[in-house]
Copies of this chain bind each other. A is one copy, B any other.
């Protein structure tokens, strides 16, 4: 049993609950075959059991822990913290705290998940703020973007922490030894941007971390895939991600109306349908589902609320990969390097000459 990996799953989160989560665990069990993966499934037994009965691959691999308390998709974080105890989400995270499970996965609402996870697991030692990531499809692969909404503003030190956590996540999930990190700004020259990004830039330039620092990147570097990890404050990251998702949907709907514009266009769409299907798949955010809440004492992974079973299975895979990785220790080592660099510069003067 020493080689087994136990994952704790909230079956009640997301738009579809057990009807998506349970088949997803079936897919995940297949993709993680040989890793001794097992699941503790939290939620309404009366809804979970019939779904389990349809997935023979899960026989003996899933233990159901019943609760009839759930967090709704529109519950406010403060409310979720006050009233969430004993809910499927709460119990899923609690299993990570107690050490029963190596990681938790939920498609529940982001704010409630962050609030409950912070309350139960607490921030990792020396980490100042948690962060949320997005896995952004690019012309070269996937770029990790953070913070996309755990914070509304960030100082220089917090931006550097995001760089550390994003790089450790990217390393664990995509296997790249020294991910390349860029800091989002309005231009690539040293003197560009506000004080926080210029100071973070100086720290990233001047400190030896276990990743490579590219320098400033601009907005269009994200879809280009110029770097592996793009760091920004949670306000900018959040509106950026939502805008890009909106632009992608706009393109999708424009394309659909272009293709129903007349019989010739419809015939064309029919002929091109396989190629268009592949294109959609390549740009489907669901294909890279699974966003960890970074900076906590334990692995909690968020799935899109609208994820289907295959997509939720991707989030489960992310949780397993993170749980198996050196991820937390890597963050710890690099945050210590940051603290040492800051302590040293506090003695020897500021790391940047004051500029504007």
Q: Which residues of A contact B (CB under 8 A)?
A: 138-139, 149, 152-153, 184-186, 192-194, 218-224, 232, 234-236, 238-251, 253-255, 257-259, 261-262, 264-265, 267-276, 278-279, 282-283
Contact = CB atoms under 8 A, between A and B. Distances in A.
A239 B236 contact: yes
A238 B188 CA distance: 13
A258 B275 contact: yes
Contacts of A247: 223, 244, 247-248
B234 A186 contact: yes
Contact of A246 (B224, B241, B264): B224
Contact of A239 (B240, B264, B265, B274): B240
Contacts of A279: 254-255, 257-258
A278 B257 CA distance: 10
Contacts of A267: 268, 271
Contacts of A272: 258-259, 264-265, 268-269, 272
A238 B139 contact: no
B276 A258 contact: yes
B253 A139 contact: yes
Given A235-B186, A238-B186, A283 B268 contact: no
A262 B271 CA distance: 10
Contacts of A194: 152-153, 235
22 contacts: A139-B254, A184-B239, A186-B235, A193-B235, A218-B239, A219-B239, A219-B240, A220-B242, A220-B246, A223-B247, A223-B249, A224-B250, A243-B244, A244-B244, A250-B283, A251-B283, A259-B272, A261-B274, A264-B272, A265-B272, A268-B272, A272-B272
A231 to B, nearest CB: 12
A284 to B, nearest CB: 12
A203 B11 CA distance: 44
Contacts of A184: 239
Nearest to A76: B189
Contacts of A259: 272, 275
Nearest to A145: B243
Given A239-B232, A272-B268, A186 B245 contact: no
Contacts of A232: 239
A331 B43 CA distance: 57
Nearest to A279: B258
B219 A238 contact: yes
Nearest to A251: B251
**Best-buried of A192, A236, A240, A259 by chain B (most CB within 10 Å):** A236
B261 A275 contact: yes
A251 B240 CA distance: 17
A267 B269 CA distance: 10
Given A240-B240, A247-B247, 11 more contacts: A184-B239, A185-B239, A193-B235, A218-B239, A219-B238, A223-B246, A243-B243, A254-B283, A264-B271, A267-B268, A268-B275
